[in-house]
Structure 1
């Protein structure tokens, strides 16, 4: 039989991510963000990004512990949020309401994931977003074309993050079931 103290220690030792109920809601907010990123502008650009998409980084994170994956997801969303706080959004022709709702949806996901993640951002992730910003927005002064590249890259990231969360959910659900069973035995 596990006591409440034991359960608390179990959750803190395993990983806050495994004990975090918020992951169940991630899919809903992710769908909202993906829909809004598509609705806030026209068709996505066919132009290639000057910064290669970090598929290797996503592949690497899939092979790490769940807690690190949740931190990666949260930190990716923080980096995306920071992109859209850039000063030169005035040049874009996106729907203002959908753009604001998109930013709020991303912020909501960050807030929810903050309850699960407590580590710091991965430096390679931060470097990628810094290069992306420098080679698109900073180089062009925030031109509409560079913002369309950012929107296209954002959609790719949101899709990859969604896949990552979907791979985490079975582990998190199993952990919640075992902690619920332990609570019922008290």
Structure 2
């Protein structure tokens, strides 16, 4: 991607955030792979905006009551700081800071909140599902930015 931007996207590994024990828990909400495919076939501006939205949605999701998350408060704070830095860095690369938000992606994250966290009462199992989804999003977002 030919960007004249001083900010570099360096995604975290699953080991850097909670170890590599991403279990086989399946969420009742399907991963929005089609939204990522459409973004991948779009302009650089659209891809940057899409990934910035992913980072924003993750920040909102992890801003919820995450007391049952099997990570310490410092790890969660570090993760949220990294997410905000990524979002701000992406926005700094964009000429027009206003990007159309992807409604399907927005609804997907709302369903993660309601169908996983709320229905499972913010349990440790629910947060493990959310952690797994977050790692997948960061991986797929890094592919969008680096290709």
Query: What's the TM-score, normalizing by structure 1?
Result: 0.71
1:3 aligned partner = none
Superposed displacement of residue 133, structure 1: 1.2
- 8 Å contact kept, 2:68–2:123: yes
Aligned counterparts, 1:1-186, within 5 A: 19-23=3-7, 25-27=8-10, 30-31=11-12, 34-39=14-19, 43-86=21-64, 88-115=65-92, 116=94, 117-167=97-147
Contiguous gaps of at least 5 residues in structure 2: none
Question: RMSD over aligned Cα, in angstroms?
Answer: 1.9
CA distance in 2, matches of 1:90, 1:49: 19
Quick check: which one's helix share is greater? 1
Q: Which SS does the other structure have where 1:90 is aligned? A: coil
CA distance in 1, matches of 2:59, 2:49: 15
* Deviations, residues 139-180 of structure 1 (Å, cap 9, x unaligned): 11211100000000011111101111111xxxxxxxxxxxxx
Question: After TM superposition, which residue ranges in structure 1, 4 or more long, deviate above 4 angstroms?
Answer: 17-20
Q: Which SS does the other structure have where 1:37 is aligned? A: coil
Q: How many residues align?
A: 144
Distance 1:20 1:81, change over 3 A: farther
